[in-house]
């Protein structure tokens, strides 16, 4: 069976490109030269080859503000939107001077005064001025972050497949969870369920772990075996059609019933999950337009819970988008405002000695009326 590689839908492409062009205008950028995969897909709408890890910068995509034209480094037109066209594709080259020659021939290259890149290497820092002889090279990331932080309605809809895949992964792991199972087995269940649903690229692979009973943050044990009464955190992140969706839940591995202290165990779990629900309600209430991102940190304080070492929220979209909400960044003055259209992965974490921790993560859209939780995985209790 063959699968055709298709570009992103037209309205999705158009909405993102309009936002990118608006930010180019706001930041005074005449040309964008992009190399980061998510940014390239954002402006082109052409699916990109996903690879693990990082790769060096190269001029994969160029967009000219005056004309709105997009040029793409591609050896064929499979998955390339019609509006880009074959005449604006350029092939791979080992010699960087070949690429510089292509960029020289782009209409508007000589007239450009400010050229923004989303990354740079010493080689291209030296060579790009040859393609844009009258331009100042500047960092384009602020403009791209500003464009990507607010999602269009079509982007919200496009996140649906990733969210549903992540939810299927959580459900599969819950079905496999029992005393005597292993973290790696549960992780495999998450990844297998997502792949069976057509999403073979996980956004994260740390999908299951036994929460610690004797320390708030440290992992419980080296073997990864689940014991009766353990609280097991399950986290699924899926990358589908370029967009990331995340969901996280915690489930007990038996031990709450059928034992001499079964009622006591269930009471302790009920109290801990009750704290988690109270924190979750405060976190969701903090996701409102115009509020500071640090309000998510304040939600922990208001609930009487210590901040976890992980970010309490981070943006989602074509990969990970701003903001990243954690104590260190907010203390350093990076306290962004939350706006309607942002999508966040919001994380709650509460812990009780001798019981364990409850980890919960939901994908949340900020709307004009407040927060809308986009994930729908059930919780224990």
Residues 207, 108 within the same domain: no
In a domain, 1, yes or no: no
- Confidence check: pLDDT of 259 > 70: no
Domain boundary pick from 128, 148, 168: 148
- Confidence check: pLDDT of 261 > 70: no
Give the model's pLDDT for residue 202.
Answer: 87
Share of the chain above pLDDT 90, in %: 78
List pLDDT tens digits, range 103-134: 999 999 999 999 999 999 999 999 999 999 99
Contacts of 14 (CB under 8 A, 6+ apart): none
Residues 222, 232 within the same domain: yes
Residues 208, 94 within the same domain: no
Residues 27, 52 within the same domain: yes
CATH of the domain at 78: 3.40.350.10
The arithmetic mean of pLDDT across residues 145-149, rounded, is 94
Give the model's pLDDT for residue 203.
Answer: 84
How many structural domains does the chain have?
2
Residues facing 347 on adjacent strands: 361
Residues 107, 176 within the same domain: no
Higher pLDDT, 360 or 322: 360
Give the model's pLDDT for residue 1.
Answer: 37
In a domain, 186, yes or no: yes
Give the model's pLDDT for residue 221.
Answer: 66
CATH of the domain at 237: 3.90.230.10
Do 133 and 110 touch, CB atoms closer than 8 A? Answer: yes
Residues 126, 232 within the same domain: no
In a domain, 3, yes or no: no
- Confidence check: pLDDT of 81 > 70: yes
In a domain, 5, yes or no: no
Residue 293 pLDDT level (bands cut at 50, 70, 90)? very high
Its pTM stands at 0.92
Residues 140, 233 within the same domain: no
Q: For residue 147, how many other CB atoms are within 10 A of its CB?
A: 24
Residue 254 pLDDT level (bands cut at 50, 70, 90)? confident
Domain that holds residue 169: 150-373
Residue 163 pLDDT level (bands cut at 50, 70, 90)? very high
Residues 201, 176 within the same domain: yes
Averaged pLDDT score across all residues of the chain: 92
Taking the alpha carbons at both ends of the chain, their separation in whole angstroms is 43
In a domain, 207, yes or no: yes
In a domain, 381, yes or no: no
Give the model's pLDDT for residue 225.
Answer: 93
List pLDDT tens digits, range 333-381: 777 899 999 999 999 999 999 999 999 999 999 999 999 999 999 999 7
Domain boundary pick from 89, 115, 148: 148
Give the model's pLDDT for residue 167.
Answer: 97
Do 203 and 242 touch, CB atoms closer than 8 A? Answer: no
Number of residues written out for the chain: 381
Coil, strand or helix at 253? coil
Give the model's pLDDT for residue 50.
Answer: 65
Closest CA to 250 of 265, 233, 237, 230: 233
- Confidence check: pLDDT of 257 > 50: no
Do 359 and 232 touch, CB atoms closer than 8 A? Answer: no
Residue 51 pLDDT level (bands cut at 50, 70, 90)? low
In a domain, 77, yes or no: yes
Residue 206 pLDDT level (bands cut at 50, 70, 90)? confident
Give the model's pLDDT for residue 255.
Answer: 53
Give the model's pLDDT for residue 2.
Answer: 44
Coil, strand or helix at 252? strand
Residues 271, 337 within the same domain: yes
Residues 159, 303 within the same domain: yes
The arithmetic mean of pLDDT across residues 10-35, rounded, is 97
Share of the chain above pLDDT 70, in %: 95
The arithmetic mean of pLDDT across residues 14-29, rounded, is 98
- Confidence check: pLDDT of 201 > 50: yes
Residues 196, 332 within the same domain: yes
Domain boundary pick from 107, 122, 148: 148
Give the model's pLDDT for residue 289.
Answer: 96
In a domain, 380, yes or no: no
Query: Edge-to-edge, what's the strand order for the sheet holding 89-90?
Result: 89-90, 70-73, 61-64, 31-34, 114-117, 136-139
Residues 58, 189 within the same domain: no
């Amino acid at each position: 069976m063959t699968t055709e590689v298709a570009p992103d839908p037209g309205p999705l492409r158009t909405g993102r490109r309009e936002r990118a062009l608006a930010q180019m205008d706001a930041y005074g950028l005449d040309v964008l030269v992009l190399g980061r995969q998510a940014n390239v897909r954002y402006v082109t709408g052409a699916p990109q080859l996903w690879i693990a890890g990082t790769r060096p910068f190269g001029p994969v995509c160029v967009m000219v503000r005056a004309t709105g034209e997009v040029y793409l480094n591609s050896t064929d037109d499979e998955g390339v939107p019609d509006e880009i066209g074959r005449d604006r594709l350029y092939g791979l080259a080992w010699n960087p001077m070949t690429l510089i020659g292509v960029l020289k021939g782009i209409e508007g290259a000589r007239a450009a005064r400010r050229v923004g890149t989303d990354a740079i290497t010493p080689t291209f820092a030296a060579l790009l001025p040859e393609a844009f002889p009258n331009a100042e090279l500047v960092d384009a990331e602020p403009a791209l972050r500003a464009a990507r932080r607010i999602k269009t309605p079509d982007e919200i809809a496009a996140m649906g497949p990733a969210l549903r895949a992540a939810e299927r992964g959580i459900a599969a792991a819950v079905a496999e969870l029992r005393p005597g199972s292993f973290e790696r087995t549960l992780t495999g269940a998450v990844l297998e369920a997502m792949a069976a649903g057509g999403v073979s690229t996980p956004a994260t692979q740390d999908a299951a772990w036994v929460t610690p009973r004797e320390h708030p943050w440290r992992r419980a044990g080296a073997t990864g075996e689940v014991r009766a009464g353990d609280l097991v955190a399950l986290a699924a992140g899926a990358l589908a059609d370029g967009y990331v969706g995340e969901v996280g839940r915690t489930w007990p591995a038996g031990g709450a019933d059928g034992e001499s202290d079964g009622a006591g165990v269930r009471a302790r779990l009920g109290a801990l999950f009750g704290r988690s629900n109270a924190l979750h309600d405060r976190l969701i209430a903090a996701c409102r337009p115009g509020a500071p991102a640090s309000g998510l940190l304040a939600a922990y304080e208001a609930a009487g819970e210590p901040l976890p070492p992980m970010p309490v929220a981070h943006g989602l979209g074509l990969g990970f988008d701003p903001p990243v909400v954690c104590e260190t960044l907010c203390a350093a003055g990076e306290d962004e405002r939350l706006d309607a259209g942002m999508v966040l992965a919001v994380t709650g974490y509460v812990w009780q000695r001798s019981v364990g921790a409850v980890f919960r993560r939901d994908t949340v859209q900020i709307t004009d009326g407040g927060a809308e939780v986009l994930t729908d995985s059930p919780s224990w209790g």
